[in-house]
Amino acid sequence: MGGGLLYMNGQVHRSVRGHLRTNKLMSMRIVVTGGSGKAGRAVVSELGQAGHDILVVDRVRPKDGIPFLLTDLTDYGQTVDAFYGADAIVHLSAIPAPRIYPDAVTFRNNMLSDYNVFQAARQSGIKNIVWASSETVLGLPFDTTPPYVPLDEEYPGRPESAYSLGKYLSEKMAEQYCRWDPDLKIFGLRFSNVMEPEDYERFPSFDLDPTIRKWNLWCYIDVRDAACAVRLAVESPLKGAEVFVIANSDSVMDRSTSDLMAECFPTVPFQREVGEHEALMSTGKAKQMLGFEPRHSWRNR
Ligand SMILES: NC(=O)c1ccc[n+]([C@@H]2O[C@H](COP(=O)([O-])OP(=O)(O)OC[C@H]3O[C@@H](n4cnc5c(N)ncnc54)[C@H](O)[C@@H]3O)[C@@H](O)[C@H]2O)c1
């Protein structure tokens, strides 16, 4: 990559490093894997607006004229080639949920891609990787009750599907890569269920039955807030392998959070008092280490 060209509003612009003239060091050439997907499109927009040069790497062509390379990340040679010249990798490509494909297909695609991305970055000398882990590592769909609420990063992962097992193992793999190289950063973002603004139309129907969304304790992440979290993570000067829960601050429900817990998970202890509609996934670590604070809510869409 390195052409430094970013399409915006149908016109080609030299990617606006000028946006960041006050802090030019922050402008990076960033490969966004999965940049054609739901989260990826918002991330490309967020990073582009922040003045970074973007290359989308995906096996699907992006719709809006962003520079891209059609790449299958399960192929190591393609992955190395796609990363040439990059300063940072935002790795979002994956089969994004359990049971879209047979388990072995999901596991193979996601695990092999994660390995190829971490290894190709290492071989290319790229020290800055942000990747999409998943809320599922927290134990979704909670057929086994969670240890406490609000959920956080403090208890060991509890993958309950082949999809989640892949995310969990990649979190562990990241720890080993960072142990091998103390200068490396691999930040895994445990996104809650990603929502675009048009998804909010169906939120009021969730209130009819608390069991519809109990599988993730009624949490979500607005795609624009997810993109902001990615930007903060990739711009962070911190090093090492870390995981962060990334969710919105409110639930998807009108019923109070404590009322929902009393009905669906009456034995699960609260670590602290929660607000009336407070989300049961805590983003305290992301706030403290990355400065992340979700700004959107389906309530004021
Ligand atoms: N959508 C959610 O609710 C959610 C929640 C938690 C975590 N995540 C994670 O966030 C990331 C993005 O999810 P999304 O909702 O945008 O998914 P998406 O399906 O909309 O986008 C994923 C993209 O990855 C690409 N891709 C998949 N396998 C590939 C491969 N082998 N080589 C190249 N490209 C490949 C697809 O073509 C697609 O464009 C994923 O890692 C997913 O597991 C998503």
Atom of ligand 1 nearest to the CA of 167: 43
Contact between 186 and 118 under an 8 Å Cβ cutoff? The reply is: yes
The answer to whether the Cα torsion of 225, 230, 236, 242 is positive or negative is positive
Whole-number Å distance, alpha carbon 175 to ligand 1 midpoint, is: 22
CA distance 44 to 53: 9
Calculate how far, in angstroms, residue 94's C-alpha sits from the geometric centre of ligand 1.
4
Distance from the alpha carbon of residue 277 to the mean position of ligand 1, in angstroms: 29
Is the CB of residue 161 less than 8 Å from the CB of residue 136? yes
Ligand 1 atom showing the smallest separation from residue 109 Cα: 31
Q: Which amino acid is at 15?
A: S
Distance (Å, whole) CA 147 – CA 127 = 35
194 alpha carbon to ligand 1 midpoint, in Å? 11
In this prediction, residue 64 carries a pLDDT of 81
DSSP conformation class of 37: S
pLDDT score recorded for residue 5: 36
Distances (CA, A) of 196 to 28, 39, 201, 230: 26, 9, 10, 16
**DSSP character string of 221-250:** EEHHHHHHHHHHHHH----EEEEEEE--SB
CA distance 159 to 139: 6
Measured in Å, how far apart are the chain's first and last C-alpha atoms? 37
Give the number of other CB atoms < 10 A from CB of residue 71.
Answer: 20
DSSP β-bridge partners for residue 30: 54, 88
3 state SS of 93 = coil
Question: In the structure, which protein residues have their CB atom closer than 6 angstroms to any atom of ligand 1?
Answer: 34, 36-40, 58-60, 71-74, 92-96, 109, 113, 132, 134-135, 191, 193-194
Pocket test for ligand 1, best of 68, 134, 222 (most atoms within 8 A of CB): 134
For residue 70, the 8-state DSSP code is: E
Best residue among 58, 61, 223 to mutate for probing ligand 1's pocket (most ligand atoms within 8 Å of CB) is: 58
How far away, in angstroms, is 97 Cα from ligand 1 center?
Answer: 8
Tell which one of 101, 194, 215, 252 to mutate to probe ligand 1, the residue whose CB is within 8 A of the most ligand atoms. Answer: 194
Q: How many angstroms separate the CA atoms of 214 and 207, rounded?
A: 11
Residue in 76, 99, 191 to alter for ligand 1 test, most ligand atoms within 8 A of Cβ: 191
Tokens linked to 275 = 């607000």
Separation of 2 CA from ligand 1 center, angstroms?
Answer: 24
Query: What count of Cα atoms within 13 Å lies in the side-chain half-sphere of residue 181?
Result: 17
The answer to whether the beta carbons of residues 141 and 215 sit under 8 Å apart is yes
pLDDT of the residue at 65: 85
CA distance 29 to 54: 6
- Which residue has a Cα nearest atom 28 of ligand 1? 94
- Which atom of ligand 1 lies closest to the CA of 71? 33
Residue 128 CA to residue 257 CA, distance in Å, equals: 37
What are the residue ranges spanned by the domains of the chain? 5-300
CA 12 to chain centre: 28
- Quick one: which of 127, 31, 128 has its CA closest to 73? 31
Residue nearest atom 23 in ligand 1 by C-alpha distance: 34
For a substitution probing ligand 1, which of 32, 33, 38 has the most ligand atoms within 8 Å of its CB? 38
**Three-state secondary-structure class, residue 294:** coil
What is the pLDDT, as a whole number, of residue 229? 98
Ligand 1 centre to CA of 96 (Å) is 5
Per-residue pLDDT of the chain (301 residues; tens, 9 = 90+): 333 333 232 233 333 322 233 344 579 999 999 999 999 999 999 999 999 999 999 999 998 889 999 999 999 999 999 999 999 999 999 999 999 999 999 999 999 999 999 999 999 999 999 999 999 999 999 999 999 999 999 999 999 999 999 999 999 999 999 999 999 999 999 999 999 999 999 999 999 999 999 999 999 999 999 999 999 999 999 999 999 999 999 999 999 999 999 999 999 999 999 999 999 999 999 999 999 999 999 998 7
Topology of the domain covering 5-300 = Rossmann fold (3.40.50)
Check residue 268 and report its DSSP letter.
P
With contact defined as beta carbons under 8 Å apart, do 133 and 170 qualify?
A: yes
